[in-house]
């Protein structure tokens, strides 16, 4: 079972995946409003065992500390984005004019090909750099949690420090579009889509596919 909630001033999508058999689950990208996230998990009957982050930008990590403290969950992040977590307070001052403590450091580091396993519920880690060096996507049972790599009709911005447009397009074309077209894509912002829809309709994807075909 999967449920999502939109949190924070940046309207970021947070997701909780639950194992019906055991009542344990994974929280993806708790960006803010930890109380609402925890309430959603309780309504689902799920105890959060892991916090898995697609990347380390401020709008995806502000709720990590409170969710971790309340649940004892292990916080997992790709090492390429550890520096972003260490500089969250600086980002908060720059972007929000607010004084916010850094989230806790990760309890474990993610790598391409890893599986986050909650008693048989396996979340597969796909390293998809470009939006940030440590961006990852998560795949489970026909559903892709794409973070800020791929959106409905768009892609994640690459003009922030560490962003790389060519790298991001490579991640999308070579990694995400390799999944079946009926794969449901749940992004870090905005509405859901599918791999097939983005292959056909996403202007960034279409331009890149045409460019590669003309080589």
pLDDT in tens, 111-145: 999 999 998 899 999 999 999 999 999 999 999 99
Instruction: Please give the pLDDT value at position 10.
Output: 86
pLDDT at 96 over 80: no
Instruction: Please give the pLDDT value at position 104.
Output: 94
pLDDT in tens, 19-46: 888 999 999 999 999 999 999 999 999 9
pLDDT at 186 over 90: yes
Tell me which of 35-44, 88-97, 177-186 is least confident: 88-97
Rounded CA-CA distance 29/14 in Å is 5
Residues 6+ apart with CB under 8 A from 73: 27, 48, 49, 50, 51, 67
Confidence band, pLDDT 50/70/90 cuts, at residue 177? very high
CATH code: domain of residue 173: 3.60.15.10
> Looking at residues 159-185, what average pLDDT do you find?
97
> Looking at residues 168-181, what average pLDDT do you find?
98
Beta strands in the chain (DSSP E): 2-7, 12-18, 24-28, 47-52, 74-77, 108-109, 115-118, 121-127, 136-140, 143-147, 150-151, 154-155, 184-187, 193-194
> Looking at residues 150-166, what average pLDDT do you find?
96
Instruction: Please give the pLDDT value at position 100.
Output: 80
pLDDT in tens, 52-89: 999 999 999 999 999 999 999 999 999 999 999 999 88
Task: Give the domain range for residue 188.
Answer: 2-213
pLDDT in tens, 194-214: 999 999 999 999 999 999 998
Confidence band, pLDDT 50/70/90 cuts, at residue 161? confident
- The strand pairing partners of 147, in sequence order, are 187
Whether the CB-CB separation of 190 and 155 falls below 8 Å is answered with no
Would you give the distance in Å from CA 163 to the centre of its chain? 16
- Computed over every residue of the chain, the mean pLDDT equals 95
The percent of residues in the chain predicted with pLDDT above 70, rounded, is: 100
Instruction: Please give the pLDDT value at position 183.
Output: 98
Instruction: Please give the pLDDT value at position 153.
Output: 97
Rounded CA-CA distance 19/171 in Å is 29
Cα 213 to Cα 53, 195, 206: the distances in Å are 34, 19, 10
Tally: H helices and E strands in the chain: 8, 14
- If one counts the domains in the chain, the total is 1
Instruction: Please give the pLDDT value at position 201.
Output: 96
């Amino acid at each position: 079972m999967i449920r999502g909630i939109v949190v924070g001033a940046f309207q970021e999508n947070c997701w909780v995946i639950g194992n019906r058999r055991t009542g344990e689950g994974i929280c993806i990208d708790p960006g803010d409003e930890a109380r609402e996230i925890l309430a959603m998990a309780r309504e689902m009957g799920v105890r959060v065992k892991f916090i898995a982050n697609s990347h380390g930008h401020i709008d995806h990590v502000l709720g990590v500390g409170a969710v971790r403290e309340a649940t004892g969950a292990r916080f997992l992040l790709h090492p390429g984005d550890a520096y972003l977590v260490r500089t969250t307070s600086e980002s908060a001052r720059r972007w929000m004019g607010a004084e916010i403590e850094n989230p806790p450091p990760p309890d474990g580091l993610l790598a391409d090909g890893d599986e986050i396993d909650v008693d048989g519920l396996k979340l597969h880690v796909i390293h998809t750099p470009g939006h940030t060096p440590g961006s990852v996507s998560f795949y489970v049972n026909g559903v892709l949690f794409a973070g800020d790599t791929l959106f409905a009709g768009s892609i994640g911005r690459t003009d922030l420090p560490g962003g790389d447009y060519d790298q991001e397009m490579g991640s999308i074309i070579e990694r995400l579009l390799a999944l079946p077209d009926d794969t449901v894509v749940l992004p870090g912002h905005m509405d859901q889509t599918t791999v097939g829809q983005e292959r056909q309709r996403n202007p960034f994807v279409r331009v890149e596919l045409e460019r590669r075909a003309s080589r």
